[in-house]
Amino acid sequence: MIDTTVFLRDVFQTADQMRRITEMYFSDLGAWLGVPLFNFYLFVCRLPYVADPVGVETVSRPLYTLKPDYKPRDCDDKSVLLASWCHGNGLKKRFVSTSTRPDKHLGHVFLQLENGLFIDSTYPKFANYMGNYPYFRKVTRLEPLTDLF
């Protein structure tokens, strides 16, 4: 089931892999590409969050992340799903990361569309976000990880 194994040193290298997977495997979404973005976003929000194993960073292609019992499925995997939908529908997007920590360590990733809309499908019911600025109350750092693609 593993397509490739790459040691990911930091959030920027992880984002590079996320972009690669999005561009190579967006067609994994199949019929989901014909669903309106908001409906697909709601579907992705409902997928259970499952953290990566401790000390391991994984990024999965959409084919696997869409499977009901697939693990892990964290913020980067859900972001790849949304980016794949955007890619298949011709929308420019980029991956961004935030920190709420005093040391500004980046640890959360989500999507930003060319029009500035942020899309984050990671958090529990009623706490996901689609809007013009991340909802985090105490953002200490907001960093684009990729250019628009």
Q: Is 14 helix (H, G, I), strand (E, B) or coil?
A: helix
Maximum C-alpha span of the chain: 43
Question: Over the stretch 140-149, which tens digit does the pLDDT of each residue have?
Answer: 999 999 999 9
Q: How many C-beta neighbours within 10 Å does residue 36 have?
A: 10
Instruction: Identify any residues that bridge with 96 across adjacent strands, giving them in sequence order.
Output: 110, 144
Give the model confidence (pLDDT) of 42-95 as tens digits.
999 999 999 998 888 899 999 999 999 999 999 999 999 999 999 999 999 999
Domain boundaries, the chain: 11-144
Alpha helices in 27-139 (DSSP H): 37-46, 62-65, 75-88
Structure tokens at 140: 């200490």
